[in-house]
Amino acid sequence: MTGQPVDGATVKAFPVARSEARLLVPALVFIALVVAAVASLGTPLITSVATSFHVSLGSAQWTLTVALLSGAVATPVLGRLGAGPHRRAAILATLAVVVAGSALTVLPLPFAWLLAGRAAQGVGLGLTALMMGVARDHLPEERSAAVIALISVVSVIGAGVGYPLAALLAELGGVRAAYGLGLVVTAAALLTAWRSMPEAPEGRSAHVDVAGAVVLAAALLLVLFLAGERNLWSRHLAVAAGLAVVAVVLLCLWAVIELRSTTPLVDVRAVRHPAVAGANLAMFVGGIGMYLLLTLITRYAQTPHGAGYGFGLTTFVAGLVLIPFSVLGFVAGKLTPRVRTRIADPLRLAGSAVVVGGGFALFAAARSDLAELFAAMGVLGFGVGGFSAAMPGVILAVIPRSETSSAMSFNYVVRSVGYSLGSAIGGLILAAGTGPGHLFPDDSAYTTAALVGIGAMAITTLTSLALARRRSSGTNP
């Protein structure tokens, strides 16, 4: 796939041999799946961590939050490194950090070391964009497009793979056994990368903009912290609003630094391209809606019958609810090569957003039976899979080959922020629907949250249709 740089020059691919390509493709997909699944391990283990380490649930929640934070900070830095000549070394070094972090989560060390290990595991989230860069550089055009779409999909459905396995291991052998799964698969990913990752094409250079990286890290830390600390908004609104203003100022400062830098962390000028900006907006709003429904369904499934609704599922059984999400998400990704020849990527974004909106509508109208939750989760998975598979095509159509990792890493930062806000918005709506002295929200609060999600997906659909209209007008004389 040959992208068009800003100056109009084309960049050639450096394909590997056919036999090497057969090994490269499963390696790329496996590594992307592993880092996504390991980062999500904190989700089903929060209660177990609180019990095992004798900490509050709020403190245990940081085993998930800190992985998302480190991933959001590391992603743009790794994306820039992935655009340079040392991409293979960056991939191996990052996986080594993830393996070391996985070891810290397994060893009998205090809670602070567990958090450090989870932060190291989260760094691996930045590898997804690098896997896309490798695919675009070393595979034929049509093959690379399909593989990039699949990598994008597995980076999302990885959570559905890791959740039930971690929950089962936690029930059988405790929290250390569950984290042991992460150590095994990350070690396998490191070995796979060492055996299969090719060197980057010659003639590239990529210097990391340290000042931009520091400012962006500070801004993202504030944004994701504010998204995760719902109590701060309800109890100290002025403080939360002040920190939000600081985060916005830091983001604006970062944009100025990047525009003035000769070696920017993210090519902001390329990001300002209408197609890229529109895709990132769709990813941001769509991410809010997608993760909102995911959290609503899993929380509803685990709510005990005493609340007047819910199914009181154990962590492991609730994790099984994610199986339709993963399976149908994977199916949507595999359908991409056939569909993309008939339907443009922006239109597939719009269609997928409509499907996710249908999942919200199904959840809002019918959730009295467990089968209905499975159906809603399946619809969500199919929509998220299609959306994730279409997103890279929209961006890479206007981005030079050498900027693949950097451009997609920025998109994944946008996705991470959207997911975090989706989780926070869901928590705020359910908290607002919880009566005084009640532990669980009213059932109607879930309906309200679903309606908010439908609104988010409507905005995503309209944004995607605008992208499709722009592409159509741009290709017609």
The string of pLDDT tens digits covering residues 200-253 is 877 666 677 788 888 988 888 888 778 767 677 778 888 988 999 999 999 899
In this structure, what token pair is assigned to residue 392? Answer: 């890279």
Share of the chain above pLDDT 70, in %: 92
Place of tokens 């017609």: 476
Domain with CATH 1.20.1250.20 in the chain: 17-199, 266-470
- The sign of the torsion formed by the CA atoms of 376, 377, 382, 386 equals positive
Q: In terms of Cα–Cα distance, which of 299, 307, 266 is closest to 429?
A: 299
In this structure, what token pair is assigned to residue 327? Answer: 């399976």
Report DSSP state, residue 146: H
* pLDDT at residue 467 in the model: 92
In which band, very low, low, confident or very high, does the pLDDT at 337 lie, cut at 50, 70 and 90?
confident
Report DSSP state, residue 435: P
Fold of 17-199: Growth Hormone; Chain: A; (1.20.1250)
Regarding predicted confidence, which is higher, 58 or 426? 426
Three-state DSSP at 450 gives helix
Radius of gyration from C-alpha coordinates of the chain: 21
**Which amino acid appears at position 225 of this protein?**
F
Regarding predicted confidence, which is higher, 124 or 416? 124
* pLDDT at residue 385 in the model: 92
In order, the DSSP letters of 42-66 are HHHHHHHHHHHHT--HHHHHHHHHH
* pLDDT at residue 57 in the model: 66
In this structure, what token pair is assigned to residue 433? Answer: 């629907």
Mean pLDDT of 289-295: 89
Q: What is the per-residue pLDDT across 357-413, written as a single tens digit (0 to 9) for each?
A: 999 999 999 999 999 999 999 999 999 999 999 999 899 888 887 777 778 888 888
Report DSSP state, residue 199: P
Regarding predicted confidence, which is higher, 283 or 63? 283
* Statement: residue 4 has pLDDT above 60: no
In which band, very low, low, confident or very high, does the pLDDT at 466 lie, cut at 50, 70 and 90?
very high
Report DSSP state, residue 287: H
Q: What is the per-residue pLDDT across 68-115, written as a single tens digit (0 to 9) for each?
A: 788 888 888 888 777 777 889 999 999 999 999 999 999 999 999 999
In which band, very low, low, confident or very high, does the pLDDT at 174 lie, cut at 50, 70 and 90?
confident
Q: Which among 233-237, 344-348, 455-459 has the top mean pLDDT?
A: 455-459
* Statement: residue 444 has pLDDT above 50: yes
* pLDDT at residue 3 in the model: 41
In which band, very low, low, confident or very high, does the pLDDT at 321 lie, cut at 50, 70 and 90?
confident
Q: In terms of Cα–Cα distance, which of 410, 69, 34, 41 is closest to 191?
A: 34
Q: Which residues, including other chains, have CB under 8 Å from residue 224's CB and lie 6 or more apart?
A: 65, 68, 69, 72, 416, 417, 420
* pLDDT at residue 10 in the model: 43
Q: Which residues, including other chains, have CB under 8 Å from residue 340's CB and lie 6 or more apart?
A: 145, 149, 348, 390, 393
Q: In terms of Cα–Cα distance, which of 43, 27, 36, 78 is closest to 406?
A: 78
Comparing 114-128, 268-282, 365-379, which segment has the lowest mean pLDDT?
Answer: 268-282
Q: Rounding to the nearest 10 degrees, give the CA dihedral for residues 37, 329, 457, 226.
A: 0
Comparing 9-23, 41-55, 101-115, 206-220, which segment has the lowest mean pLDDT?
Answer: 9-23
For the chain, what is the largest distance between any 2 Cα atoms, rounded to a whole number of angstroms? 67
Q: In terms of Cα–Cα distance, which of 32, 404, 34, 20 is closest to 196?
A: 20
* pLDDT at residue 168 in the model: 83
- Residue 233: CB atoms within 10 A of its CB come to 18
- The sign of the torsion formed by the CA atoms of 145, 148, 150, 156 equals negative
* Statement: residue 329 has pLDDT above 70: yes
CA angle 334, 43, 391 (to 5 degrees): 30
What span, in angstroms and rounded, lies between the C-alpha atoms of 263 and 251?
A: 18
User: HEC profile for 320-347?
Assistant: HCCHHHHHHHHHHHHHHHHHCCCCCHHH
Question: Which option is the CATH number for 266-470: 3.40.190.10, 3.30.43.10, 3.40.50.1980, 1.20.1250.20?
Answer: 1.20.1250.20
Share of the chain above pLDDT 90, in %: 36
Q: Which residues, including other chains, have CB under 8 Å from residue 98's CB and lie 6 or more apart?
A: 35, 38, 120, 121, 123, 124, 186, 189, 190
**Which amino acid appears at position 79 of this protein?**
G
Comparing 38-42, 189-193, 376-380, which segment has the lowest mean pLDDT?
Answer: 38-42
In which band, very low, low, confident or very high, does the pLDDT at 6 lie, cut at 50, 70 and 90?
very low
* Statement: residue 196 has pLDDT above 80: yes
Give the global pTM: 0.81
